[in-house]
């Protein structure tokens, strides 16, 4: 348990140092009269699960009740880094990547609770411009068996296809991110993994950085035929603290599927550090 919290502290320290260094670079770029992003685009990019905006996300989901045999409360804290790569830095097409680290996963057990690390996930999307306001991309998704306990991870190396599409008419943002990692190696005693993770997202801007959003993460497990079908709706705001852009939101959810074990209710709190001028600051 102590190792878990020490590693979590090291992750948070890395995030703070990254934010300080990148924020300083962006502040210098802003002072050099660099083009500032429009508020509409900034809010949209901040709320898309994968976007062309470099950002560091801290997200905590609290589940007061579970379905199935689990009794008690759960908590899921993740650190995610969204890294866009412009065209020709690695490939001819721009790349949108997302690294998600489940830094602290707390699950209820019959005799108490368990806290540990989860499996790290990585997705990379090559963006194809399908029109002036419609974007489409495809790429791979990976799952690495880094969980500190069998209960907090799947114990399998996984890889599979991923695709994303987004449409942004006026104050709206509509889109979906789909991933289907499939296990190919790992603990032979653990069951095979093959699940579709479908993440539709909708954002409507209220003005002055305020927005309402819905971003449920649905899971369709092809191995067990179980489903996770949350319905959620949240509110938040994108604003500046000094030179630093941030995004804050709160988003309650309810799981309409009866397949357990899974959270019955949950509420998610999100805080993101946004760096719209990340690559521009590094070319100066």
Over its length of 284 residues, how does the chain's per-residue pLDDT go in tens digits?
Answer: 444 445 444 555 554 455 545 444 444 444 444 446 788 889 999 999 998 899 999 999 999 888 767 677 889 999 999 999 887 766 788 889 999 999 888 888 766 678 899 999 999 999 987 666 788 999 999 999 999 888 889 999 999 999 999 999 889 999 999 999 999 999 999 999 999 999 999 999 999 999 999 999 999 999 999 999 999 999 999 999 999 999 999 999 999 987 877 888 899 999 999 998 776 655 45
Rounded CA gap, 61 and 40, in Å?
27
Residue-level pLDDT at 31: 42
Q: What is the dihedral of CA 27, 272, 143, 75, to 10 degrees?
A: 150
Residue-level pLDDT at 27: 45
Rounded CA gap, 18 and 96, in Å?
19
Rounded CA gap, 246 and 272, in Å?
5
- The alpha-carbon radius of gyration of the chain (Å, integer) is 19
Token pair 């690695």 is found at 90
Q: Mention every residue, 6+ apart, whose C-beta is less than 8 A from residue 24.
A: none
Distances (CA, A) of 44 to 50, 121, 171: 11, 23, 9
Rounded CA gap, 184 and 144, in Å?
11
φ and ψ of 247, to 5 deg: -130, 125
Name the pTM for this structure. Answer: 0.84
Residue-level pLDDT at 189: 92
Task: Return the CATH number of 2-282, one of 2.40.110.20, 3.30.1230.10, 3.40.50.300, 2.40.160.40.
Answer: 2.40.160.40
DSSP character for 194? B
Token pair 């029109």 is found at 131
Token pair 């001028």 is found at 277
Residue-level pLDDT at 149: 87
Residue-level pLDDT at 24: 46
Residue-level pLDDT at 165: 94
């Amino acid at each position: 348990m102590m190792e878990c919290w020490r590693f979590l502290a090291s992750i948070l320290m890395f995030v703070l140092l990254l934010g300080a260094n990148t924020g300083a670079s962006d502040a210098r770029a802003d002072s050099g009269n660099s083009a500032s992003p429009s508020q509409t685009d900034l809010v949209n990019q901040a709320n898309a699960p994968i976007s062309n905006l470099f950002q560091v996300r801290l997200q905590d989901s609290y589940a007061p009740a579970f379905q199935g045999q689990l009794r008690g409360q759960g908590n899921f804290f993740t650190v995610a880094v969204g890294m866009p790569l412009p065209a020709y830095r690695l490939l001819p097409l721009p790349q949108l990547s997302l690294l998600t680290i489940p830094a602290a996963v707390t699950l209820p057990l019959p005799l108490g609770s368990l806290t540990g690390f989860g499996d790290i996930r990585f997705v990379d999307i090559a963006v194809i411009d399908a029109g002036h306001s419609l974007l489409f991309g495809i790429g791979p998704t990976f799952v690495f068996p880094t969980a500190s306990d069998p209960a907090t991870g799947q114990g399998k190396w996984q890889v599979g296809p991923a695709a994303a599409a987004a449409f942004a008419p006026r104050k709206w943002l509509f889109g979906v991110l789909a991933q289907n990692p499939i296990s190919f190696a790992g603990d032979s005693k653990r069951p095979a993994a093959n699940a579709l993770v479908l993440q539709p997202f909708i954002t409507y801007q209220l003005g002055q950085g305020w927005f309402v959003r819905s971003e449920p993460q649905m899971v369709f497990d092809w191995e067990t035929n179980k489903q996770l079908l949350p319905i959620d709706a949240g509110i938040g705001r994108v604003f500046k603290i000094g030179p630093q852009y941030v995004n804050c939101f709160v988003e309650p959810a309810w799981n309409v599927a009866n397949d357990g074990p899974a959270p019955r209710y949950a509420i998610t709190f999100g805080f993101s550090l946004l760096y719209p001028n990340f690559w521009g600051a590094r070319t100066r």
